[in-house]
């Protein structure tokens, strides 16, 4: 295995960790209505559990309301139950055709809790990046030991892996700092 292959493999895993961070941070409430809050909700549809976005149109007409319009009228009760079961801290109201989900303002204590959740998500992503770095370093050492590369090449590869790691960790730090700013701003 050459250095370029090891670096590409490590970068791919690091990008997946950042993508995971993006997805998880998007699910955290910021006090503004966002359709991403409902991404994890699954609704029973003809015996299968499907994502809400596959059975309804989810929109945010203003900063404090999420509007869910099912494609079939008979899905309104199932969607209502799924939202209540998700325990989002929001109470859906339905008129038989659409479901309105008012997003209550966050209090200071809840904002701090959500900021901690964001930090935990970021740390999980950082661990993923560090694991990719460790695996890449191990691959470089193994390649040197198997006589496929010189010590200088390995050291250069390790420096490149560290630069890649630093770049991805900085990107995660920026993501979480932006999310914390969103959460904590009133």
Which among 103, 98, 87 is positioned nearest to 57, based on CA atoms?
98
Q: Which domains does the chain have, with CATH numbers?
A: 3-26+107-184 (1.10.132.20), 35-102 (3.30.1360.40)
Q: Say how far apart CA 21 and CA 121 lie, in whole Å.
A: 6
Reading the chain (186 residues) residue by residue, the pLDDT tens digits are: 788 999 999 999 999 999 999 988 887 877 777 777 888 889 988 888 899 888 999 888 888 888 999 988 888 888 888 888 887 777 888 888 899 988 877 788 888 888 899 999 999 999 999 999 999 999 999 988 887 788 899 899 999 999 999 999 999 999 999 999 888 876
Q: What is the tally of helices (H) and strands (E) in the chain?
A: 4, 6
Which 8-state DSSP code applies to residue 93? E
Q: Say how far apart CA 129 and CA 13 lie, in whole Å.
A: 7
Look-up of token digits 């993508």: 19
Burial class (CB in 10 A: 0-12, 13-18, 19+), 30: buried
Q: Say how far apart CA 10 and CA 153 lie, in whole Å.
A: 17
Which among 59, 62, 97, 106 is positioned nearest to 79, based on CA atoms?
97
Is the whole-model pTM more than 0.85? no
Residue 49, strand partner residues = 44
In which order are the strands placed within the sheet that holds 93-94? 56-62, 65-70, 99-102, 93-94
């Amino acid at each position: 295995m050459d250095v370029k292959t090891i670096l590409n493999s490590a970068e791919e895993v690091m990008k997946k960790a950042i993508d995971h961070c993006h997805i998880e941070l998007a699910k955290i409430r910021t006090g503004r209505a966002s359709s991403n809050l409902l991404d994890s909700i699954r609704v029973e549809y003809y015996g299968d559990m499907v994502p809400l976005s596959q059975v309804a149109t989810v929109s945010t007409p203003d900063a404090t309301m999420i509007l869910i319009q099912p494609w079939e009228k008979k899905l309104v009760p199932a969607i209502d139950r799924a939202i209540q079961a998700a325990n989002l801290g929001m109470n859906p109201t339905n008129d038989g055709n659409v479901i309105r989900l008012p997003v209550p303002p966050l209090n200071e204590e809840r904002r701090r809790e959500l900021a901690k959740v964001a930090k935990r998500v970021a740390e999980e992503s950082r661990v993923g990046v560090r694991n990719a770095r460790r695996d890449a370093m191990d691959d470089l050492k193994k390649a040197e030991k198997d006589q496929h590369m010189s010590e200088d090449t390995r050291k250069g590869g390790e420096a490149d892996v560290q630069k890649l790691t630093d770049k991805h960790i900085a990107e995660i730090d920026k993501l979480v700092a932006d999310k914390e700013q969103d959460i904590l701003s009133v």
